[in-house]
Amino acid sequence: MTRLRHDLDFLISVGLLTTGMVTAATGLISDVWDLNDFWYHTVSGYVMGAFAIAHVVLNWGRLTAYGRYRVSSLVGARPANAEGRRIASRSHIDVEPQQPSTWFGRAVLSRRGLFGLAVGGVGGWLVGRGLRPPPPIEAGSDVGVIYHQWSKPGILDALGTVGNWGQPIELYKEHRGTDRVPMPQVSNEDLAIGPPTPTTIAARRSTRTYAATPMTLDELSRLLYLSGGITAGLHGNARRAAPSSGALYPIELYPVVHRVNGLEPGVYHYDVRRHALELLRPGDFRAQVVEQGIAQEFLGTCGVVLFLTIILQRMRPKYQDRSYRYGLLEAGHIGENAYLAATSMGLGACGVGAFMDDAINTMLGVDGVEEAAVYMVAAGKIPEAA
């Protein structure tokens, strides 16, 4: 019976150690890669808890005896039972000299030996996986392919969390000292106006022909709000219309206004926190935007062009090499929101990815490195059907 108890205790200890290591590894992976629903971590945690409870139940007598011994030692009394005497005298046991073969067998078969083997084996496996040769990249591959291959996650990417990827920066950009134009508030009643979502999705098309009729300020306000505006607050951390990895929101919106009633033409920045526009450069930029958009004339006949920029440092401290991937995904989310918002109001929209980066960055007043333009979306009134 004692032998069976010892074997069971040994197996439970092994299970507790194994599940503890798995739980730690899956927890690290879920944190580094921002996996909010990583069921491997959840299951391993529950199994580890079950092993921990079994370990405590099986060793309850020894644990309570050790506790009594520690308490009695603190008050100066001698242990009152055999188990306590055994614990108290354990450090004084003389180990007899053993033959190398006997010592090796005990080291391998003991709990300490098994623990060492397990740690060494798992550590070697992690190092082997993490330090595997980089993925092969064929000669002549474009830069995008190279980046995609090198930004694939590896097991040792967790080490990147201790590297210096810079400090987190402010999630809200603002231009102090500029003229700020408050946008009309978008109410729940306003959001109820328009066709149902399935109808809007089915009707969405890229529009390249626009009417000379200006957009209204209410339409621009709704377009900005539904594209990337703050739609809810959660524990003090505002949530926006488009999803974002880690709620870091690296995308900024710069509307270049051509024709909007009640709004001076010019280059603006969308102050998302205040739902307002900051006037950066007044003036007529239609010809300049058309030139920057590779001579696509509709970029000058629409009512507004939304320029989307990415601020990578908002993501680097958390996502390191994959930040650019996530930032482009978020630009796509906002762009599609703009399409659907425009369609729901009877406006036209068209996304553009072909443009002269340096000229646009200069116009927006960004450096093209820490913040750079990645997408542009035109929106405006469409001609009435004949």
pLDDT digits (tens, 9 = 90+) for 146-156: 777 777 776 44
d(CA 267, CA 282): 6
d(CA 69, CA 84): 6
Identify which of 20-24, 38-42, 115-119, 140-144 has the greatest average pLDDT.
20-24
pTM: 0.70
Residue 163 or residue 255, greater confidence: 255
Q: Residue 347: name the closest of 178, 219, 156, 233 by CA.
A: 219
Cβ contacts of 363 within 8 Å, gap of 6 or more: 256, 267, 281, 285, 288, 292
pLDDT at 114: 65
pLDDT at 136: 62
Burial class (CB in 10 A: 0-12, 13-18, 19+), 342: buried
For residue 349, what are the β-bridge partners? 206, 379
Q: Cβ–Cβ contacts within 10 Å for residue 32, how many?
A: 18
Structural tokens at position 236: 């003090």
Q: Cβ–Cβ contacts within 10 Å for residue 170, how many?
A: 9
Structural tokens at position 381: 């009134």
Residue 294 or residue 104, greater confidence: 294
Query: Going from the N-terminus, what domains does the chain have, and what CATH number goes with each?
Result: 2-90+99-130 (no CATH), 179-381 (3.40.109.10)
Backbone angles phi, psi at 377, to 5 degrees: -130, 120
For residue 381, what are the β-bridge partners? 347
Angle (CA) 23 41 11, round 5°: 45
d(CA 357, CA 375): 10
Question: 269-292: per-residue pLDDT in tens?
Answer: 999 999 999 999 999 999 999 999
For residue 304, what are the β-bridge partners? 257, 379
Angle (CA) 7 8 10, round 5°: 65
Beta strands in the chain (DSSP E): 179-182, 230-234, 237-240, 251-257, 266-271, 276-282, 304-311, 347-352, 371-381
Secondary structure (3-state) at 277: strand
Residue 229 or residue 47, greater confidence: 229
Question: 345-368: per-residue pLDDT in tens?
Answer: 999 999 999 999 999 999 999 999
Q: With cut-offs at 50, 70 and 90, classify the pLDDT of residue 91.
A: very low
Is 182 in contact with 274 (CB distance < 8 Å)? yes
d(CA 327, CA 333): 10
d(CA 127, CA 148): 22
Query: Is the pLDDT assigned to residue 338 strictly greater than 90?
Result: yes
